[in-house]
Structure 1
Amino acid sequence: MTKPIGRQIALGQPLFELEGITKVYNPDSEQRVEVLHGVSLKIQRGEFVAIMGASGSGKTTLMNILGCLDKPTGGRYLLAGTDVAGLDRSDLAWLRRSVFGFVFQSYNLIGTATAQENVEIPAIYAGHPAAERHRRAAELLGMLGLAERTTHRPNQLSGGQQQRVSIARALMNGGTAILADEPTGALDSTSGAEVLQFLEHLADEGHTVIIITHDAEVARHARRRIEIKDGNIVADVIQSWSEKAPSERPVKALDFIDHAKRLDEFSETLRMALRALRVNLLRTILTLLGIVIGVGSVVAMLAVGDGARQVVLDRIGSMGTDLLLIRPGAPNQRGVGNAIATLVPQDAEAISSLANVRAAVPELSASVTVRSGDSDYQTSATGTTADLTEIRDWPVARGSFFTREDAARYAAVTVLGQTVVNNLFPAGADPVGRFVLVNNVPFQVLGVMAAKGATASGADLDDVVFVPLSTGSLRLFGQRNVKTITVAVDDVDKIDATQSSVTALLAERHKAEDFQIRNMAAVLETAEATQNTLSVLLGSVGAISLLVGGIGVMNIMLVSVTERTREIGIRMATGARTRNILQQFLTEAVVVSIFGGLLGIGCGFAMAAGFMQFGVPAAVSLEVVALAFACAVAVGLVFGFAPALKAARLDPVVALASE
């Protein structure tokens, strides 16, 4: 990137040199308008020049070209010997903040900023430290008689005071060349005279001052008067000489970017973004609402999905993931309950001898009536072996479980589930050691099982009495065939191979494949995959809400760019680079998304808590919270980029002319 005015300027070299400058609007349409017709002029450093002409004569267009707010259609513009045509947008922005200072008829102050903040804007974009900016701005405002008005906003200042603030802003970074467009046009005579007097003082100090005016009285204050009419210079007159010659010291431009002075640039951008959002508080809240709803939906929906997933997996896991469940009936036979009973206890004994099998437990159950004293209760009796507590991970809460010796001697003993105990015995009563009648057969209670809860389908696991299979087959069920055989394996990684071995063994014993084997590890994997799909579905619903919120952010930011076009023009005129404007509006969008994300996370937690109050399982994980927050920030970046880019690409002169 070429440094404009990167060298010292010789006193005899013109600061401004125009050669045949033309400006045509709409050159390729029927509304083609040529404003400047081959303007040529030279302005030396330190001159005080008035460019005078009627409205529509092209004087403001000429000033915009001199100040690098606009580009000529043709001709050559040299600034201190540098051809401006070869400079890019960043170079031109550097010139506007480091070389030029603009004083506008309508002041062009940012309404939401204080006087001091308005003055500091060029220094912010130049990267000067905050302390240095504050000191310089206060000094300039004090010099202009506004020491007590530094914290006032433009609507709290008179027209003359606002114009003095704009002059202070023009001088903030040095103001080698002061370009004043009708600086007294909106002022009373007294304020106008004060402004002109100060501009004369600046010229005496070595600043190059150019006034654009249609007022001959104002033009008389300048030392050189250039008259322009219909886009042509018709007069160029030296009116007077200053008693003070221009400063003998050469003008030296600042560096393009001093990285050491840009350490707080982000904090300044953030501060400006927060101020802009605070000024339009209602609109900001409405924008936040879309993000809050989106993020809250994502957090709540995924919390419900994760909660349901965890409950299902816990219930399946409580049955054991290292189990094979064998039932009678051919693999393709529907209705296992109606299958021909072919499994026998000897099948379980044979399976127990296979490699990787820890235990094989046969089970046979039927509905029974249990009586204790005057209380009857209808429940389910399950005949099984002593290994059930091990493979089901179901301990005995009180007493003990029956043993292999009890099964061998056909002992009439039982272990009760917690629901049966609650229905047969008074609260606090200990059933261990007492006798109960099971279908009118007396059984001694050996123990009470720990509470297990419900199955995934809602069945009460605690509503059961356990008896030895041998005793139950003889005295309660009247049959030897069992309904299920549960096989526990030692190594879950080899469960598929073990399943194949069990299948081969039973097929050999039965001479047919009249049984079904369910692999609980595979069931768990299937259930987990299903629940993951459900979580994705629920998360997608929340993501759609977040997408709608993102579209709302983009719409509001586009409206904001339209409403603040003049502000964008002011910032560009005071030296904002394309990336500064892009960064500011993008920061506003991201800040909205961050606040919305944080509030949405809080709402998501609240909704999840509300679901749990109504018995709906919900589990909020840090991963979900981080994902939702990251999505909110991404929404701000993605949907805020287009409006920010639109703002950054605005033409400074067009933006300044907007209402």
Structure 2
Amino acid sequence: MSTPLIRLEGIGKTYRNGELATTVLRDVDLEIHDGEFVAIMGASGSGKSTLMHLLGCLDQPTTGRYLFEGQDIARLDSDELASLRSRTFGFIFQSYHLISSATATENVEVPAIYAGLPRDLRHARAEELLTGLGLGERLGNRPNQLSGGQQQRVSIARALMNDARILLADEPTGALDSKSGQDVLQLLKDLHARGKTVIVITHDRDVANHADRLIEIRDGRIIHDSGPKQTTPAATPNPAPASAAPRSQGLAPLGDTNEAIRMALRALRANLFRTVLTLLGIVIGVASVVVMLAVGNGARQDVVERISDMGTNLLIVRPGAPNTRRSADGSTNTLTAEDAEVAATIDNVVAAVPEVETRATVRAGNTDAQTSITGTTADYVTAKSWPLERGVFLNDDDNRRYAAVAVIGRTVAGNLFPGQDPLGQYLLIRNVPFLIIGVMQEKGATPWGQDQDDVVIVPLNTANNRLIGSRHLSSISVLIDDLRLSDATQEAVRQAILANHAGVEDFQIRNMASLLESVASTQNTFTVLLGSIAAISLLVGGIGVMNIMLVNVSERTREIGIRMATGARTRNILQQFIVEAVVVSAIGGAIGVVSGLGFASLLQYFGTPIQFTPGPVLLAFGCAFATGLIFGFMPAHKAAHLDPVVALSAD
């Protein structure tokens, strides 16, 4: 006799449940040679299935040694054991253990996936095996579309996929009718004749009699062994080309990412409703991030643009001491046109524009309207960066002559002269007729909601003497040249006006550039707040992914056991479930991005300021991808570290 292929020395197996210990195998000594056809027979509970699990390296003995070709398997880690199962053992289970969501061909391909065989080769091999077993017309059928005998044939084809040396068949005819059972036994005999080592686990003596060697087991001990034949067919050449599997071309297990994604999509399709619910959480989270950030960025940009329209190179001088409010009667108004003239002499100052403001009822024909009246000088359009739409603006001569001329905003033009050209027409301001000489371009509202187009602009002296009756100003707008020198220019203007007021600081200066920075900072905070709220939605979606994946692992425990039995390593199972979580999150992320952009576009259509930038979209999708990766790891880790025997026995 040759050196034993399998040698068991004093093997014992005890299962523990807390303090309760159950011994299933006791001092089992056994040798199995290459090419034997062995039947291990025993009643239910005798330990024969446990012995099969040990022989197939699905379980480890509690005591004793298991030598495979002289190598102690106790020295192999879980991945090395998986590799040994992949290249050596083929399992034929009593309950078939087929993956319900996969077709017959896909079930047969599973061992070759973990062996690293290219997709086209393993697909051709699987079809060849199934066709040889009489299932050529059932290649695309799922297990629930096959009879028991057909499922058992798929199981046999899977066992042969990697050209396994040893076939382990657990009650191969137990769930079959007599005709199907005889067909399976004949197939096992044919495989043995081709040089396979066949080990059949059975309680049926008729089945056991088909083997060349009978081993009987009772209460965990071998009570009879007919012994091996002196001549075995181990050296018999394999006459059937179909049973010789193509060799792997060196691909890493599951190294083909496309294959991992296909497996993930197939698993997700198997429970479509649950997948949709999982997607919904991610979709809502991602869409929320996209919409919230688009709205936040849009609002910030809108405010910045409005302030920029007002002029960022401006210093606004107003009456009243710093940090105090002007009194209702305006008694603190001490600014005069002379202050503007003094400010205009400062270096880096382009223009200093005095302004006086009041509100009044204006009339044109039979139409009245309440509006804002601004008295100013010719430099107003320069300082405010506000060009004319048509006509001309005020000039210095108008101011010197106290001319009753006016330039109006678009709102006033629309209210008083609907459908008409206001140029050359008159309007009454406090019973004083003013000739309209120009119309300003539309400017819109300020960040605080004031309509800048609802204004009538008249010469400063005319406003002071004919409308207001005061020489004091409401404000001075100081236009500066170099914004980098704004702080120094602001201090120089302050000192000049302070000297003009005999050292009394009864005015205050606001730097519009600083205001812009302050508002932008506030809007950034607002955007971050909106993004944080949306991120919470995404977090909830991620927790949903983890929860669903944990349920997925629980429901697919047997599938995990099948994959481990056919050669899946720890990293294979880990990768598969992480890929599934990432695929769900990526699909949900893509749908969420599209939905978010669509909803944001709808808001924009109805007038909400929206700013579309790649950043929020990439951030949202990246977060969705990371969510799948992070929240999928725990379920994947749990799946990857299941015990193969426990997983196979799960309901």
Calculate the TM-score normalised by the size of structure 1: 0.93
Checking the alignment, whether the CA contact within 8 Å between 2:194 and 2:237 is kept in structure 1 is no
Quick one: percent identity of the two aligned structures?
59
2:8 match: 18
Cα distance, 1:533 vs structure 2: 1.2
Q: Say which SS state the counterpart of residue 32 (structure 1) adopts.
A: strand
1:105 match: 94
2:360 match: 368
Between the aligned partners of 2:261 and 2:14, the Cα distance in structure 1 is 39
Between the aligned partners of 1:53 and 1:640, the Cα distance in structure 2 is 43
Q: Say which SS state the counterpart of residue 202 (structure 1) adopts.
A: helix
Matched, 1:356 2:348: yes
Structure 1 263/216 Cα, relative in aligned 2: closer, same or farther at 3 Å? Answer: closer
1:495 match: 486
Between the aligned partners of 2:194 and 2:313, the Cα distance in structure 1 is 92
2:220 match: 231
Q: Say which SS state the counterpart of residue 235 (structure 2) adopts.
A: coil
Structure 1 421/171 Cα, relative in aligned 2: closer, same or farther at 3 Å? Answer: same
Between the aligned partners of 1:522 and 1:528, the Cα distance in structure 2 is 10
Q: Please give the per-residue CA displacement for 1:76-124, whole angstroms capped at 9, x wherever unaligned.
A: 1111122111111111111111110001111111111111111111011
1:330 match: 321
Equivalent AA in structure 1 for residue 446 of structure 2: T
Equivalent AA in structure 1 for residue 83 of structure 2: W
Number of equivalences? 644
Equivalent AA in structure 1 for residue 221 of structure 2: N
- Unaligned residue ranges in structure 1 (runs of 5+): 1-10
Checking the alignment, whether the CA contact within 8 Å between 1:48 and 1:209 is kept in structure 2 is yes
Q: Which moved more, 1:102-111 or 1:587-596?
A: 587-596
Equivalent AA in structure 2 for residue 66 of structure 1: L
Between the aligned partners of 2:635 and 2:251, the Cα distance in structure 1 is 30
Checking the alignment, whether the CA contact within 8 Å between 2:91 and 2:565 is kept in structure 1 is yes
Q: Please give the per-residue CA displacement for 1:233-272, whole angstroms capped at 9, x wherever unaligned.
A: 22211376778563379xxx99998544768622121111
Equivalent AA in structure 1 for residue 88 of structure 2: V
Q: Say which SS state the counterpart of residue 29 (structure 2) adopts.
A: strand
Checking the alignment, whether the CA contact within 8 Å between 1:204 and 1:246 is kept in structure 2 is no
Root mean square deviation of aligned Cα: 2.2
Between the aligned partners of 2:233 and 2:117, the Cα distance in structure 1 is 31
2:241 match: none
Structure 1 21/124 Cα, relative in aligned 2: closer, same or farther at 3 Å? Answer: same
Between the aligned partners of 1:413 and 1:488, the Cα distance in structure 2 is 25
Q: Please give the per-residue CA displacement for 1:356-406, whole angstroms capped at 9, x wherever unaligned.
A: 111111101222343334444332221111111011111011111112233
1:509-658 to 2 correspondences below 5 Å: 509-510=500-501, 511-658=503-650
Structure 1 607/491 Cα, relative in aligned 2: closer, same or farther at 3 Å? Answer: same
Between the aligned partners of 1:257 and 1:649, the Cα distance in structure 2 is 26
Q: Please give the per-residue CA displacement for 1:419-472, whole angstroms capped at 9, x wherever unaligned.
A: 222222241x32323343332233332211111122222222112111121222
Checking the alignment, whether the CA contact within 8 Å between 2:34 and 2:234 is kept in structure 1 is no
1:7 match: none
1:33 match: 22
Matched, 1:347 2:364: no
1:151 match: 140
Matched, 1:439 2:430: yes
Cα distance, 1:326 vs structure 2: 0.6
Structure 1 426/551 Cα, relative in aligned 2: closer, same or farther at 3 Å? Answer: closer
Equivalent AA in structure 2 for residue 367 of structure 1: R
Checking the alignment, whether the CA contact within 8 Å between 1:380 and 1:463 is kept in structure 2 is yes
Cα distance, 1:172 vs structure 2: 0.4
Structure 1 342/189 Cα, relative in aligned 2: closer, same or farther at 3 Å? Answer: same
Structure 1 155/286 Cα, relative in aligned 2: closer, same or farther at 3 Å? Answer: same
1:127 match: 116
Q: Please give the per-residue CA displacement for 1:210-253, whole angstroms capped at 9, x wherever unaligned.
A: 1111111111111111222222222211376778563379xxx9
1:6 match: none
Checking the alignment, whether the CA contact within 8 Å between 1:341 and 1:481 is kept in structure 2 is yes
1:479 match: 470
Between the aligned partners of 1:168 and 1:375, the Cα distance in structure 2 is 94
1:195-344 to 2 correspondences below 5 Å: 195-238=184-227, 244=233, 246-247=235-236, 259-260=250-251, 265-335=256-326, 338-344=330-336
Between the aligned partners of 1:439 and 1:62, the Cα distance in structure 2 is 109
Checking the alignment, whether the CA contact within 8 Å between 2:113 and 2:254 is kept in structure 1 is no
Q: Say which SS state the counterpart of residue 26 (structure 1) adopts.
A: strand
Equivalent AA in structure 2 for residue 86 of structure 1: R
2:80 match: 91
For 2:396, which of 404, 407, 414 is the aligned residue? 404
Structure 1 339/52 Cα, relative in aligned 2: closer, same or farther at 3 Å? Answer: farther
Checking the alignment, whether the CA contact within 8 Å between 1:569 and 1:656 is kept in structure 2 is yes
Q: Say which SS state the counterpart of residue 357 (structure 2) adopts.
A: strand
Q: Say which SS state the counterpart of residue 381 (structure 1) adopts.
A: strand
Cα distance, 1:68 vs structure 2: 0.7
Between the aligned partners of 1:256 and 1:514, the Cα distance in structure 2 is 93
Equivalent AA in structure 1 for residue 30 of structure 2: L
Q: Which moved more, 1:204-213 or 1:646-655?
A: 204-213
Structure 1 451/134 Cα, relative in aligned 2: closer, same or farther at 3 Å? Answer: same
Checking the alignment, whether the CA contact within 8 Å between 2:348 and 2:480 is kept in structure 1 is yes
Between the aligned partners of 1:127 and 1:412, the Cα distance in structure 2 is 92
Matched, 1:422 2:411: no
Equivalent AA in structure 1 for residue 75 of structure 2: G
Q: Which moved more, 1:302-311 or 1:555-564?
A: 302-311
1:5 match: none
Equivalent AA in structure 2 for residue 19 of structure 1: E
For 1:505, which of 496, 502, 512 is the aligned residue? 496
Structure 1 489/255 Cα, relative in aligned 2: closer, same or farther at 3 Å? Answer: farther
Checking the alignment, whether the CA contact within 8 Å between 1:222 and 1:239 is kept in structure 2 is no
Equivalent AA in structure 2 for residue 627 of structure 1: L
Equivalent AA in structure 2 for residue 413 of structure 1: V
Checking the alignment, whether the CA contact within 8 Å between 1:124 and 1:265 is kept in structure 2 is no
Between the aligned partners of 1:610 and 1:248, the Cα distance in structure 2 is 73
1:376-387 to 2 correspondences below 5 Å: 376-387=368-379
Checking the alignment, whether the CA contact within 8 Å between 1:550 and 1:639 is kept in structure 2 is yes
